[in-house]
Structures are given as C-alpha cells and as structure tokens.
Structure 1
Amino acid sequence: MEDLGPFDFCAVVLAGGTAARLGGADKASIELHGRTLLTHALDALVDAAEVVVVGDPVPTERPVTFCRESPRYGGPVAGLLTGVDALLRTPRTVGVLAVDMPHVSALTFRRLHEAASSRDGAVLVGPDGRRQLALVLDATRLAAVRPGLEAQHGMAVHRLLGPLDLAEVAATGDEHRDVDTWTDLRDL
C-alpha cells in the first residue's frame, strides 16, 4: 500500500446488507429527495481521499471502489474490515458510514475527527445514547484489535470497538436517523 502521509482520511461505506425490512431492496439505490442514499453518503465523505463501498456496484458520480465481503452478508464488521482491506492508500484515519444515514454530512465527519483527537476514534451517538454506524477510527488502532477472518462474519460492532477509546459525539438534528423500513424513508 502507498503511504500518503499522516493527515490522510479514507472511508468505507457499508452498503451490503440484506435490507430485509425493505423487502431486500438495494439501499444504495433508494432515492431520498431525488438523490440516492449512496450519493448522500458519498457527499458526507467528500473530505476522504478514497472511498470504498462494500456492496453491489451502482452508478456514482464520484470514483469509488466497490467490493463485497466473503461470504456475503457477513455483517458490518466483516464489511468494514473488507472495505479497509480494499483501500489503495494507508490512511491515518478511516471513516465508516452506513449507506442508510442520509443526514450525516461532511460537517458530521469533521466533528468526529475533531473529537477523535488523541483518542482511538469517535462515534456518532443518537439522542437515545445508541452508537451509530458513523464513526472515525485510527487505522493503526483498528488494525490492533482486528479479529481473525473466522470471527468477523456476524460479529457485533460493539465487540470490535469495545477495546478502543472512542469519543462519543452527540448527533445534531436528524444525523442519527437511518432507513431500515419504508416508513423510515417516508418519515425522512
């Protein structure tokens, strides 16, 4: 991997889930306000030098790398680590964003980066105190807690991130809202 320096930020968009509560629809292609959820996610990651989307390829205006975890539908940890492995650059920090969070913005990621200073990373937290799949991680610290391949499939994110010292950043507005059902999409 090419090392581009200590200030680099690369990102992984998690878009490869089953979307069971959406009847198996491809979340990345679902439109909100005339733009796909993937477009919203890529806009939020505009500061990233490189973006990997873990999911099936769909048209984008921004150049990205698409990949899939193996076996498919391994969950967010398998997707995250597959995405990190697909990066062409060795970043200092890795942004992670679920494709179904259309109100996360570039400002959200700037706040996460600011909060992550001198920590292992930062995670967006909803008003109910739940950690969301919008975070920034120190790439070296992530590599240090990375499990073996067998443990990645189906692993819960909180187990992966448990050993890390993460700052919690309170969501503002609707940043924490995601699209798990058609009702969620209608309400957004």
Structure 2
Amino acid sequence: MFDAVLLAGGRARRLGGADKPAAPVGGRPLIAWVAAAAADASRLVVVGPPRDVLPGAVVVREDPPGAGPVPALRAGLAEVRAPWLALLAADLPFLRPVHLVRLLDAARGPAAAGAVLVDERGREQWLAGCWRTATLRAALDSYTGASLRGVLGPLEPARVALPAGEGPPWYDCDTPEELARAEHLAGPDPL
C-alpha cells in the first residue's frame, strides 16, 4: 500500500512561467505520465493548481502557492493515508510503474527510511523516491529549512541506480530544450 504525492505547483521560471506539468510529451501532459507511473497508488495527491487531466486525484495547494518543495511536501503529506508514499515531480515523462516498484522494494529494506533514484552521475533525485510515511512526517515536524535535500538527505535513503536507456526515469523537463528532447525521445508512438 502506498500513496503518491506529485509536486506540480512550481513557478517554471525556465519555461517562462508556463504550466509545466500540463506541457505535452508524446501526446500526454507530463503530469499524466507521472500519474500513470503511480497507477498502483491507493491515493494520488497532487500539490498544485487544479487541472482536468487527473480525475479522482486529491488536489491541494502549498501555502502560499509557489512557496517551494518543502511546503508543497507538507501540504501533500497531510493527505497521505498509506504507510508508504512515493514523492514525485510532475515532470518525469519516462518514469514507469516498474521504477516505482524498484524504489518501493529498496525503501522497504530493514534499515531504510526510504529510497531515492540516483542519476547516471550518482546524484540523488529527491523528487523521485519512496518513503515511510511516519518517518517522513517526523522529519518534517522538526525541519525548519527550505530544501528537500535538507530534510530527506539525513534520513539516509537507499540509493537506487537504474539503467538510463534512451529516456532515463529521472529525466525532468525544466527548460524548453529539455521538453523538446523529451518529445523527441518519446518518439512517434510512446503510448
């Protein structure tokens, strides 16, 4: 049992303030790809403005809107009911259910508080991970900083390295160039 929290309320400055999660890649909005990867979640919690693409999702806003990932995580976590949660950015077009299975398996290790994807350079991708809900709540209760790494790093999550392939699961779309590359990688029939 796990819930999924999708952070979808950023300002997308490098995309000129566009609604990044709604940007299409391979004929689907970015957020729809991430929701599909988390299709096995008991509950889908989207932190950001309401969108018509995810019926049935619980939609909440961080306070104030656009305040950053830590306030967004707090808002999303308030809606989590399952003992485990997947914390995901809403702009990961190549994330698939199998990747979440690997993260959940690693997170459930006896000494792990969670698990996080690492990219091809070994850097943690803090918005692609799975966590024990109770541990994450306790960490946030005492955290006064503003960075996800600051709250998640000390939990010493299991690090999950996956093959990059053509479209690596941690690939996010922060710039017009990254969005165009994702569209190219998605190919003519990604569905």
Same fold (TM over 0.5): yes
CA distance in 1 between partners of 2:138 and 2:63 (Å) = 22
Which of residues 121, 126, 136 in structure 2 aligns to 1:128?
121
> Does the aligned pair in 1 maintain the 2:48–2:65 contact within 8 Å?
no
Alignment of 1:13-162 (within 5 A): 13-87=6-80, 90-117=81-108, 118=110, 119-132=112-125, 133-147=127-141, 151=144, 155-162=146-153
Matched, 1:184 2:171: no
CA distance in 1 between partners of 2:21 and 2:175 (Å) = 14
The runs of 5 or more residues in structure 1 that have no matched partner are 1-7
Deviation (angstroms), 1:105: 0.9
Number of corresponding residues: 176
The runs of 5 or more residues in structure 2 that have no matched partner are 183-191
Percent of residue pairs bearing the same amino acid type: 37
CA distance in 1 between partners of 2:141 and 2:149 (Å) = 13
> Does the aligned pair in 1 maintain the 2:77–2:137 contact within 8 Å?
no
Cα-Cα RMSD: 1.4
> Does the aligned pair in 1 maintain the 2:114–2:157 contact within 8 Å?
yes
**TM-score, length basis structure 1:** 0.89
Secondary structure of the structure 2 residue equivalent to 1:163: helix
CA distance in 1 between partners of 2:55 and 2:159 (Å) = 29
Deviation (angstroms), 1:163: 2.5
Match of 2:186 in 1: none
**TM-score, length basis structure 2:** 0.87
